[in-house]
Amino acid sequence: QQLSTSYYHKSCPRFEQIMQDTTTNKQIASPTTAGAALRLFFHDCLVEGCDASVLISSTPFNKAERDADINLSLPGDGFDVVVRAKTALELACPGVVSCADILAVATRNLVTMMGGPFYNVKLGRRDGRVSRAPRAQNTLPTPTMSMNRIIRIFKSIGFSVQEMVALTGAHTIGFSHCSQISSDIYNYSRTSQFDPSYNPRYASGLRNACADYKKNPSLSVFNDIMTPRDFDNSYYKNLPKGLGVLRSDRALMMDRRTRPFVELYARDQKAFFEAFARAIEKLSLNGVKTGRNGEIRRRCDSFN
Ligand code: HEM
Ligand SMILES: [Ca+2]
Ligand SMILES: [Ca+2]
């Protein structure tokens, strides 16, 4: 069985419409949904493939991916938009649409809604039957990893350096928690309060914004200080100015393997959109399960 864009045409003719309505309504009610869903999708596809393994809740017998430390910051809005779509789809066509397809299409709709490129999402993914916290913890990239390690993670699922740089343009929207950058902005070294790869004024702005983060762990800052809600190429324009929020963002500008692509996407938004669309379309096919390798979950947060 192969994936196709018309997979639900007969079995669930209202699929596209229900997805469009659900994502639009959710994004209008909660504007942080787009970033939340996009990161959730990335974290799903990197671990066990795009199979909704990240949506599973833990049980007394299994600590699931979503309870891995690295996933605790995934905002509820990303999960919620999937649950809403699943509820509507189960009424319209019970037992037909997978949670993995719902997350893939919700992400695409939201990227497009924020002004990003449209791309095709092939359908027919089945939901996975494995979700283990240690696998998420050991697989996903973190901002303090060396560029070598980050490149290796993407290479292991078939992505080039250029594709990795394009995908990370996702940081043109959304937030990072202060805890992700505290070691870069407070008491960075004996000689510098903050990481010198920051623009100094930006660093002091971040220090102010995060001042209370120990008492208030939910404090966050924009990933793209210039256009935090628009899916555009301003993320790449920020990097040469020292306006990258995460250490891994600023590292894209420091490393000679990644810098040329940062510069390309900074000057050419069309090139970024084309590369992002191709890369996320490819990501959306990573490790997909078909036939008896998966199931159509009744609820997205538990195995059948
Ligand atoms: C290159 C390696 C990457 C690293 C080290 C990384 C790390 C992070 C971290 C630490 C955050 C902040 C999370 C928080 O504090 O809540 C974040 C946010 C985000 N990441 Fe990445 N990321 C990477 C690549 C990607 C890719 C490839 C995508 C999607 C295609 C992506 C999508 C996002 C989005 C949308 C947010 C904002 C989430 C929100 O607003 O809730 N990231 N990333
Ligand atoms: Ca997965
Ligand atoms: Ca932006």
Is 16 annotated as contributing to ligand binding? no
Domain assignment present for residue 304? The answer is no
Which residues keep their CB under 5 angstroms from ion ligand 3? 172, 224, 227, 230, 232, 234
Q: Can you give the pLDDT at residue 216?
A: 97
Q: Are residues 251 and 176 in the same domain?
A: yes
Pocket of ligand 1 (CB under 6 A): 32, 35-36, 38-39, 42, 73, 75, 141-143, 150, 167-168, 170-171, 173-177, 180, 223, 246, 248
CA-proximal residue: ligand 1, atom 24 (nearest): 168
68-71 contacts at long range (C-beta below 8 A, 24 or more positions apart):
68/133, 68/134, 68/136, 68/137, 69/137, 70/43, 70/136, 70/137, 70/140, 70/142, 71/43, 71/133, 71/136, 71/140
Q: pTM of the predicted model, to two decimals?
A: 0.98
Q: Are residues 185 and 209 in the same domain?
A: yes
Q: Are residues 166 and 273 in the same domain?
A: yes
Q: Are residues 191 and 83 in the same domain?
A: no
Domain assignment present for residue 303? The answer is no
CB atoms within 10 A of CB 190: 5
Point out the ligand nearest to the CA of residue 50.
2
pLDDT over 80 at 78, yes or no: yes
pLDDT tens for 30-59 read: 999 999 999 999 999 999 999 999 999 999
Domain assignment present for residue 208? The answer is yes
pLDDT over 80 at 1, yes or no: no
Q: Are residues 152 and 123 in the same domain?
A: no
Q: Are residues 152 and 129 in the same domain?
A: no
Domain count, the chain: 2
pLDDT over 80 at 189, yes or no: yes
Q: Are residues 68 and 156 in the same domain?
A: no
In 233-271, which positions are buried (b, 16+ CB within 10 angstroms) versus exposed (e)? bbbbbbbeebbbbbbbbbbbbebeebbebbebbbeebee
Q: Work out the average pLDDT over 76-91.
A: 98
Q: Are residues 71 and 163 in the same domain?
A: no
Q: Can you give the pLDDT at residue 2?
A: 85
Q: Are residues 270 and 178 in the same domain?
A: yes
Domain assignment present for residue 230? The answer is yes
Domain assignment present for residue 301? The answer is no
Q: Work out the average pLDDT over 72-77.
A: 96
Q: Name the pairing type of β-strands 220-222 and 175-177.
A: antiparallel
What is the chain's mean pLDDT, rounded?
97
Q: Are residues 54 and 159 in the same domain?
A: no
| Number of Cα atoms under 13 Å in the Cβ half of residue 42 | 24
Task: For residue 165, give its domain range.
Answer: 147-280
Q: Work out the average pLDDT over 115-125.
A: 98
Cα(71)–Cα(286) distance, integer angstroms: 19
Domain assignment present for residue 244? The answer is yes
Q: Work out the average pLDDT over 125-153.
A: 98
Give the CATH number for residue 275.
1.10.420.10
Percent of the chain's residues with pLDDT above 70: 100
Q: Can you give the pLDDT at residue 67?
A: 98
Give the CATH number for residue 59.
1.10.520.10
Point out the ligand nearest to the CA of residue 116.
3
Q: Which atom of ligand 1 is nearest to the CA of 248?
A: 5
Domain assignment present for residue 123? The answer is yes
pLDDT tens for 222-248 read: 999 999 999 999 999 999 999 999 999
Domain assignment present for residue 90? The answer is yes
Q: Are residues 45 and 127 in the same domain?
A: yes
Q: Are residues 196 and 274 in the same domain?
A: yes
Cα(169)–Cα(249) distance, integer angstroms: 9
